[in-house]
Amino acid sequence: MTGSTLQGKVAIVTGAGGGIGRATALRLAEAGADIAAVDIDGQTAGETARRVESLGRRALALEVDVTDADAVRRSVDDTAAALGAPAIAVCNAGIIGEPSPFHEENVAHLRRQFAVHVEGAFHYMQATIGPMLTEGWGRLVCTSSIAATAGYPRGSSYAAAKAALLGLVRSIALEYASKGITANCVAPGVIDTDMIQVFGADRLERMRAAIPAKHFGQPEDIAAAIAYLCSPEAGYVTGQIISPNGGLWFS
């Protein structure tokens, strides 16, 4: 999607300092949107904002921990003041943690996974849906994972949090389907970003070999799917899960 299909729209993208989030911010900017780039790392968010501006769009960098509901609300207010009310929220910030067998997994890690992925998305969707209802137009997209439906050995807490997102988003989709607001998930396969470096070279090679396409996805592959879900022509698409994964299905 290129051109100006999102001209005049303001998009908040979380985790925008990193791979998929940054690619998404740039892709939405190419489609004409102005971008609030949110990340816990203010420096990387700032770099994304600079790249958005170099595409000729307005941008704001916001250093926010998505688990902090007050900070999230302030960031949405700051976005509205600087760029205009958000019509698009891409809840993408995420963490993975060291692989850990379930019998050694601890509940603190489970809670952290739910805080970042589920509460973070909950806060941003709740803080942005008001202006979307006023406008009668909105796009909510959350980054889940193939792990949500396929499972993820030694990543049970991550997979559980990503699965919870599916139920959250599908429920929101049904509640607001008649209000011009869509809510969808992308569920990436294995994408070549900083996040997957935790697996180490040997496991990464085994993962790559198991992918029918025989290569990892690029952040732009996910950004393209997100941009479609955010587009005006995807107005009849809601409660869906799009999984760009190179043919990788475990189940």
Ligand X SMILES: NC(=O)c1ccc[n+]([C@@H]2O[C@H](COP(=O)([O-])OP(=O)(O)OC[C@H]3O[C@@H](n4cnc5c(N)ncnc54)[C@H](O)[C@@H]3O)[C@@H](O)[C@H]2O)c1
> Cα–Cα distance between 101 and 169 in angstroms, integer?
28
> Cα–Cα distance between 240 and 151 in angstroms, integer?
19
Between residues 68 and 105, which has the closer beta carbon with respect to ligand X? 68
Of 18, 13, 27, nearest in space to 60 by CA: 13
Pick the piece of the chain touching ligand X (CB under 6 A) from 26-34, 60-68, 176-184, 199-207. 60-68
Q: Does 113 bind ligand X (CB under 6 A)?
A: no
In one-letter notation, the amino acid at residue 245 is N
How far apart are CB 236 and ligand X at their closest, in Å? 25
Report how far apart, in Å, the C-alpha atoms of 184 and of each of 25, 106, 158 are. Answer: 17, 30, 19
Instruction: Say if CB 142 and CB 185 are below 8 A apart.
Output: yes
Between residues 133 and 198, which has the closer beta carbon with respect to ligand X? 198
Query: Using the 8-state DSSP alphabet, how is residue 197 labeled?
Result: G
How far apart are CB 110 and ligand X at their closest, in Å? 15
Q: Does 175 bind ligand X (CB under 6 A)?
A: no
One residue of 33, 140, 163, 190 binding ligand X per CB under 6 A? 190
Pick the piece of the chain touching ligand X (CB under 6 A) from 1-9, 12-20, 70-78, 232-240. 12-20
* Active-site amino acid positions: 158
Q: Does 79 bind ligand X (CB under 6 A)?
A: no
How far apart are CB 70 and ligand X at their closest, in Å? 14
- Contacts within 8 Å (CB) and 24+ apart, 194-202: 194/18, 194/19, 195/18, 195/19, 195/94, 195/95, 195/96, 196/96, 198/96, 198/97, 198/98, 198/99, 199/99
One residue of 191, 223, 225, 227 binding ligand X per CB under 6 A? 191
One residue of 65, 78, 105, 135 binding ligand X per CB under 6 A? 65
Q: Does 78 bind ligand X (CB under 6 A)?
A: no
One residue of 11, 29, 61, 116 binding ligand X per CB under 6 A? 116
Q: Does 110 bind ligand X (CB under 6 A)?
A: no
> Cα–Cα distance between 124 and 120 in angstroms, integer?
6
Contacting residues toward ligand X, per CB under 6 A: 14-15, 17-21, 39-41, 44, 64-67, 92-95, 116, 143, 145, 188, 190-191, 193-196
